[in-house]
Amino acid sequence: METLNNFLLEVPRMASDDYVGFTFFVGCMAMMAASAFFFLSMSSFDKKWRTSILVSGLITFIAAVHYYYMRGYWADVSESPTFFRYVDWILTVPLMCVEFYLILKAAGATKKHMWTLIVASTAMLVFGYWGEAVDPGRAQIWGAISGAAYFYVVYLIFFGELKNLATSAGGETLRAHNILAKFVLIGWAIYPLGYMIGTADGQWYSFLADAVGQSGRDVVYNVGDAINKIGFGLVVYGWAVAGSKES
């Protein structure tokens, strides 16, 4: 009991009107709940589906841990936890790309496809971090390079070999691939808005930060993370359920 009391006392207090901190808190709880769901559901699937469900649980679990720390950082200093956020993304976003490989592995996807997606998504994040945290004076240049890596990922899953493999597989595999691809195209498009808000100082798009304030960046990022990471996992879960019924 004493240990629990000490833990609760160490948790940073959040003001009742802190809507940004609230999104960190809700994000943490949502990711934890999703992780528990994915991990506990693994035993109900055959072995060939479990890796995909495991990766879905790892994505949300890693995010939940980081959201716990990001909420504390925000409560302590009221600044955007940019470093912790990118550490989260550098771990979880490549894992989201791995899901494409796992879904299409039976259709002929190779580790080369997987590593191409991982490298492209990692480059997207590294250049994004450089523009947002290291060299914001040239945020547009770094953002453009990051965006090029992002659109390369979009190309691979919408028009490249991965799309061809999904089409040849058909059925639930094609359906799951198409939904995940839409998450990348639409859901991931939320993040450039947060990037622009965070790097708006002195830029032509400064009206974004003027409209929502710098704290609006974290709200955009938090909402985007919850939608994309949990949504990704639920799509994979649905694919595994459908595949198990067909087996």
pLDDT at residue 50 in the model? 92
Candidate CATH numbers 3.40.50.2020, 2.60.40.2300, 1.20.1070.10, 3.40.640.10; the one for domain 15-246: 1.20.1070.10
pLDDT digit string, tens, across residues 23-78:
999 999 999 999 999 999 998 888 888 999 999 999 999 999 999 999 999 988 88
Give pLDDT, residue 167.
96
Average pLDDT over residues 9-23: 70
Between 174 and 16, residue with greater pLDDT: 174
With tokens 């912790």, the residue in question is 84
Instruction: State yes or no: pLDDT of 7 exceeds 60.
Output: no
Cα 194-196-198 angle, rounded to 5 deg = 70
The confidence score (pLDDT) of residue 4 equals: 41
Confidence (pLDDT) at 244 = 81
CA angle 47–105–33, rounded 5-degree value: 55
Q: Decide if pLDDT at 175 tops 60.
A: yes
Long-range contacts of 105-109 (CB under 8 A, 24+ apart): 106/169, 106/173, 107/165, 107/166, 107/168, 107/169, 107/173, 108/165, 108/168, 109/162, 109/165
* Local confidence band at 9 (pLDDT 50, 70, 90 cut-offs): very low
What whole-number percentage of the chain has pLDDT above 90?
A: 68
Q: What is the mean pLDDT of the chain?
A: 88
Which comes out higher in pLDDT, residue 41 or 243?
41
Q: Where are the domains of the chain?
A: 15-246
Is residue 84 predicted with pLDDT exceeding 80?
yes
Most confident stretch, 15-19, 104-108, 197-201, 205-209: 104-108
Residue 227 has pLDDT above 80, yes or no: yes
pLDDT tens per residue, range 101-154: 999 999 999 999 999 999 999 999 999 999 999 998 899 999 999 999 999 999
Rg (CA), the chain: 19
